[in-house]
Amino acid sequence: MSNLDYSKLSGKNPDCPSELLLDRFHGGELPSAESAAVERHSAQCPACTARLALRQRGAAAFPALRLDEVADKCVRLDAQRRVCRTYRSSVWQRFAERLSATRRVHLSWIAAAATAAAAIFVALLPQLRHDGGIDGTGIHMKGGPRLHVVRERSGAVAELADGELVRAGDRLQFRVDLPADAEVMVVGVESSGAIYPCYPLGASGSTAARAGAGIALAGAVELDDSAGDEYLHLVVCPRHFALHNLSAPARGAMAVAGGDGCRSDSIHIVKEVP
């Protein structure tokens, strides 16, 4: 039987600060007592002095690192998210303005109207779902687009059921059933309401896909360690649509601004606390 000598693996003395501790020291994230201790140690440890010097050189220490490319992509992605956020907040702002204008109306009228609206909503739900205007109750429309989410964890692969528990590090891949050629996008909606693109990964809009069953979409999404409910939506439209056209007006629901003929299918996942 062989043993790996773990003490030689890290290349650091046991009393030297860990990589993370040194990074936090360099980033000014340590409380003063801990910071002083790392500073004292580094002053008398040549190895840690060299480790700190490397951090101070920043990107110059790594010729293969191309930070500009990363920054450009992230700035574009961030701009898309801001547009998306602005769109959502403008919807709420318009709602608040209308509510303010109706303040003089007696509250009971508002309550009655809300109740009636809820009843109509429930009655029309199948039709709305058929139009692709709303989705997310875990019901799949017969003959409609269908999202299958496949989870890979530690080499084991399984298709997720609605409401299934997932955890940080799980990798999700998507398969879709499309009744006709269409523009498609898979997005995730966090519990905060933030929408992020899952397919095409990091994209700002939909991509064309051919009709078929069990079509595997390229790429995979790895779940991070934020816990809570999330919804994954497959959005299918006859024409190209942008990420900022999408909004989540209610829990589990997905709407496409100006998306006539759009349809969607969704799955609810629950991210465990790590």
Interaction between residue 3 and another protein (CB under 8 A): yes
Residue 87 contacts another protein per CB under 8 A? no
Q: CB of 235 within 8 A of CB of 189? A: no
What is the Cα–Cα distance from 8 to 14, expressed in whole angstroms?
Answer: 10
158 lies in the site for another protein, by CB under 8 A: no
Site for another protein in 186-215 (CB under 8 A): 192, 194, 196, 202
- 169 contributes a contact to another protein by CB under 8 A: yes
58 binds another protein (CB under 8 A): yes
54 contributes a contact to another protein by CB under 8 A: yes
Stretch that binds another protein, among 23-31, 94-102, 120-128, 207-215 (CB under 8 A): 23-31
Query: What amino acid is encoded at 188 in this protein?
Result: G
Nearest C-alpha neighbor of 179 from the set 149, 140, 218: 140
Stretch touching another protein by CB under 8 A, among 43-51, 96-104, 134-142, 244-252: 43-51
Q: How many residues bind another protein (CB under 8 A)?
A: 62
- Tell me: does residue 2 bind another protein (CB under 8 A): yes
Tokens representing 179 are: 């009744």
Position among 86, 90, 93, 226 found at the interface with another protein (CB under 8 A) = 226
The secondary structure of 137-160 as a DSSP string is SS---TTS-EEEEEEEETTEEEEP
150 lines the binding site for another protein (CB under 8 A): no
Closest CA to 128 of 269, 273, 260, 270: 260
Map residues 114-133 to x or -, x wherever contact with another protein holds by CB under 8 A: --------------------
CB of 134 to another protein, least distance (A): 24
Shortest Cβ distance from residue 176 to another protein (Å)?
21
Closest by CA position to 132, among listed 250, 233, 202, 268: 233
Residue 152, judged by CB atoms within 10 A of its CB (0-12, 13-18, 19+), counts as middle
Q: How far apart are CA 193 and CA 60, in angstroms?
A: 39
CB 203 within 8 A of CB 186: no
Helix-helix angle 46-57:32-44, to 10 degrees:
110
Binding footprint of another protein on the chain (CB under 8 A): 1-6, 8-12, 14, 16-24, 27, 29, 47, 50-51, 54-55, 57-59, 61-62, 64-67, 69-71, 73-75, 77-78, 81, 153-155, 168-169, 171, 192, 194, 196, 202, 222, 224-226, 273-274
